[in-house]
Structure 1
Amino acid sequence: MIRPRIPRGRRGLLSAGGALVAVAVVVAVLVSAMDGTGRPAARQSAAYPDGLPHTRVTMSAGDCGQGWTDGHGGDQVFDVHNASSGPAEVDLVDPGTGAVYGEVEGLAPGTTRPLQVTLGGGSYAFKCLPDDADAVTGPTVRIAGHAAAGPAAVPVSQHDLIPPTIAYQQWIGGQMGQLADRVGALKDAVDSGDLDAARAAWLPAHLVYERMGAAYGTFGDADKAINGTTAGLPRGSSDPRFTGFHRIEYGLWHGQSAEQLRLPADQLGKDVDQLRSGWSQARMDPAQLGLRAHEILENTVQFELTGRTDYGSGSNLATARANLDGTRTALGYLRPLLTAARLPQLPRVDAALDRMQRTLDGFETDGHWTALNALSRTQRERVDADAGAAVEQLAAVAAVCDVRRTS
């Protein structure tokens, strides 16, 4: 099916386990307090509903981080003001490693937005990245002590993402042969009029495709042709634009004859062959691989675990399990980048995926899967909870792998 593309800009996503960076939450513009000399000063928590100390910092043309000179550890808020004439991104970084502790994206001229962070002992500086201008790094502020700071991540560059993306694209190419073989077996069963064999061949073929989820964006229109649903089609299952796996699924489990299914099966084979033959010329966007690793299971929750893609086979849980395999594959190629300096909570990500896998595997016996609508309420709640937890943990991967501008 066509997966809706979630906009980028997931850098500020926070998970329950602590994600990449603190998020700049949009709240009312705060007015700075001034000390006796007329300079911006750290403001006391009593004046703010969040109960945290606030410090106003300003960026202007050629300057960054004005107003912050004396650092203190702990939870706090910086009210970041853009006094320049253009929009900018403002990051709080470790000037030695470049690790990002927090950021405000798309800060418009004349506006102020809060940035909440937890600071420990160490060195910090604001880096301002105006649109269409070079980055400017403000003065370094040092905080004494050994308390741990909040989460931070060394930025990932486009160059960093090229090798894993090429390797993943090659893996997808290797799956194309298996996909074509499984679709060929499905087509042969339909052509021979053996619909029991066709039903048995449908799911293995479909699951091969479902494991290739991080490449859907590169498949383009082929994804809709191969795995589209009736969504948006005025004639529903009777619409001639309803093609691919789900069109055949509908026919196999709704009493259609082999004669009625020969044309859809033949078209699926042609669409898969066309995708396979053109794949060597395709180019995946390296900046999207981390996002897709998260998005695969997001779409699983939205479409598979709601039954919206079930056209009679009752195989949504099998598809969810294949989507989990697809997530692990994409994550595996990204793993060399997900060091402790970037994603210290990677073990929590793995644990959440393991838990989801154990739950899903409990609904499969000798290749037969429990239908989604046959789950008890308790079973359904467990599936939803485990999938939701995995999606939440994977948000950190998308955030870490979102390419950041550093200069």
Structure 2
Amino acid sequence: MVDDKLRTPGAVRDAERWTAHNYHPLPVVISSAEGAWLTDVDGRRYLDCLAGYSALNFGHRHPQLIAAAHAQLDRLTLTSRAFIHDQFADFCRELAELCGKDLVLPMNTGAEAVETGIKVARKWGYQVKGVAAGQANIVVAEGNFHGRTTTIVSFSTDEDARADFGPYTPGFTVVPYGDLDALTAAINENTVAVLLEPIQGEQGVVVPPEGYLPGVRQVCTERNVLFIADEIQSGLGRTGATFACDHEGVVPDMYLLGKALGGGIVPVSAVAANADVLGVLKPGQHGSTFGGNPLACAVAIEVVRLLATGEFQRRSAELGDRLRAGLEGLLGKGLVGVRVRGLWAGLDIDPALMTGREACERLAARGVLAKDTHGSTIRLAPPLVITEEEIDLAVAQLAEVLAG
């Protein structure tokens, strides 16, 4: 793919030599980026159609976010939650208002937000619902991706994520995604929560049937069960709305947020819920050294303010229509399935043509970076700052790859 005189091959070899092989990255070595574009160590430019799994919804080095980070770096970076810093209350208040919730609990990574949601739901179940000690159960969906901690992979149905990491944490019931009857049947007197991605990203941007999320909301209300929406990838403008749940007018009891909340600068995650849910936690029962640190809060405040204007949600919806039209034009021309919600797409390539990995390698050679998942499926999730012309470029390059 590259000339041996260039820097990329050596950098790739060094990375493979000195790191555990828990990822299989494309042989591209990035050295700088701005907006929707990346530049490698040899000066070649690539259109970023992954956006750090939606961590870069606002593009690389968004000026407003970079300015907030620089300003905070010059003043204060970390205090721990043993003290209160001057960015903390503003971040929690503005994010709570964006979510329409009473309280926010800041953490760092998406997996930490999920773990926090699990702990809060169990404690709520024991203290509020009255579930017998040690009996709390959470209903989850097949094909889920909520992170990679020991507890989270315990209810994964992806054998690559799960195999050989047991013994597994009990307390979860897995049902088919999108099957409301199965979900309803799985709820019993010990069920404290239903934990779902409103759109399954890692599975290939799988959108549930219309009416599914409202049905989940209704049954959770009727059975006194918390509805926890993992909006870590799908939230914060990605789908053309602030949250993917918004498309069907659904408000969960708890939002799990991350990725884009850090503006592509620092890891920031959070749990947002009302006081009758998050209020079950008392001092010493849960925490994080870096969660809610000054630098994270300063950046995340600006992220929330960008979202509060609605501009990025509108861009995602409008440009998503253009992306959908372009991709659907490739059905029967190498694509056998297309799922699009906002600027988020799952594409199923005819497996007789190539694997998803091969497609991503060929796209990279043409200056477009994307990510494969599950055989011949690839995902597109460009930054929300992408232009119409850049969307057309990505679709055109994909068409060339599919045409051979």
Using structure 2 for the length normalisation, give the TM-score: 0.26
Of Structure 1 and Structure 2, the greater helix share is in: 1
Higher-Rg member (1/2): 1
Using structure 1 for the length normalisation, give the TM-score: 0.25
